[in-house]
Structure 1
Amino acid sequence: MSRYADTEAVLAGYLAHLAVERGLAANTLASYRRDLRRYLDHLRSRGRPSLEEVAEHDVVAFLAALRQGDERHPALAAGSAARAVSAVRGLHRFAVREGVCAHDPAHEVHPPSRLRHLPKAIGVDDVERLIAAAGPKDAPLTHRNRALLEVLYGTGARISEAVGMALEDVEPGRVRLRGKAGRSRVVPLGRFAGQAVSEYVQRARPLIWANGRGSAALFLNARGGRLTRQGAWEVLRSAAERAGLEGVSPHMLRHSFATHLLDGGADVRVVQELLGHASVTTTQVYTLAGVDRLREAYAAARSRAGRPTS
Structure 2
Amino acid sequence: MSKRSGVGAVLPLDQPPFWSVVDGDGEVIEAVSDFMLDFWARGNAESSCRSYAYALLRWFRHLHLEHIDWERAIRETVRDFVLACRQPSALSPEALSPRTLNHSLAVISAFYDYHLAQQRGPILNPVPARRVDSGRRRNGHHNPELEFRRDRRADFRQKVPKTAPRLIVESRISEILRTIGNARDRALVEFYLSSAARPSELLGMTIEDVDPGSQRITVERKGSRARQALPASSNAFLWLRLYQESLPPELLVKGNPVWWTNRRPYRPFGYDAARAMFNRVGHEIDAKLRLHGLRHTAAVRMSNDPALTLTDIQRILGHLHLSTTQEYLQQHNDDIIERVAQHLRSRSDPKPAPEGPPLAYDASDLDELLGDASW
- Report the TM-score when normalising by structure 1: 0.52
The answer to whether the 8 A contact 1:133-1:240 is kept is no
For residue 240 of structure 1, report the CA deviation from its aligned partner. Answer: 2.2
1:174 match? 216
1:224 match? 266
1:256 match? 297
Deviations along 1:252-279, one digit per CA (max 9) or x if unpaired, are 1111100111122231111111111112
Cα distance between partner residues in 2 of 1:159 and 1:217: 14
The answer to whether the 8 A contact 1:169-1:176 is kept is yes
Structure 1: gaps (5+ residues) = 1-103, 136-141, 295-310
Pick from 108, 111, 125 the counterpart of residue 146 of structure 2: 108
The answer to whether the 8 A contact 1:156-1:254 is kept is yes
For residue 207 of structure 1, report the CA deviation from its aligned partner. Answer: 7.3
Q: Which amino acid aligns with 2:192?
A: L
Q: Judge which range, 117-126 or 170-179, deviates more.
A: 117-126
Cα distance between partner residues in 2 of 1:205 and 1:251: 27
Cα distance between partner residues in 2 of 1:271 and 1:292: 23
Structure 2: gaps (5+ residues) = 1-141, 151-158, 337-375
2:25 match? none
Q: Which has the larger radius of gyration?
A: 2
Question: Is 1:272 aligned to 2:303, yes or no?
Answer: no
Cα distance between partner residues in 2 of 1:175 and 1:278: 20
Matches for 1:40-189 after TM superposition, within 5 Å: 107-110=145-148, 115-135=161-181, 142-172=182-212, 173-180=215-222, 181-189=224-232
For residue 163 of structure 1, report the CA deviation from its aligned partner. Answer: 1.2
The answer to whether the 8 A contact 2:166-2:296 is kept is yes
2:326 match? 284
For residue 132 of structure 1, report the CA deviation from its aligned partner. Answer: 2.2
Q: Which amino acid aligns with 1:186?
A: A
For residue 233 of structure 1, report the CA deviation from its aligned partner. Answer: 0.8
Deviations along 1:153-203, one digit per CA (max 9) or x if unpaired, are 2211111112101111100200001112312211111121121112222x2
SS at match of 2:311: helix
Q: Which amino acid aligns with 1:156?
A: A
Matches for 1:174-213 after TM superposition, within 5 Å: 174-180=216-222, 181-201=224-244, 203-206=245-248, 209=251
The answer to whether the 8 A contact 2:207-2:254 is kept is no
1:247 match? 288
Q: Which amino acid aligns with 2:288?
A: G
Cα distance between partner residues in 1 of 2:249 and 2:175: 27
When residues 111 and 289 of structure 1 are mapped into structure 2, their CA distance, relative to the original with a 3 A threshold, is farther
Structure with the higher fraction of residues in helix conformation: 1
Cα distance between partner residues in 2 of 1:289 and 1:208: 47
For residue 111 of structure 1, report the CA deviation from its aligned partner. Answer: 7.9
Cα distance between partner residues in 2 of 1:206 and 1:279: 43
When residues 285 and 199 of structure 1 are mapped into structure 2, their CA distance, relative to the original with a 3 A threshold, is same
> What is the Cα-based RMSD across aligned positions, in Å?
3.0
Cα distance between partner residues in 1 of 2:144 and 2:189: 36
For residue 220 of structure 1, report the CA deviation from its aligned partner. Answer: 0.5
Paired-residue identity, % = 22
SS at match of 1:239: helix
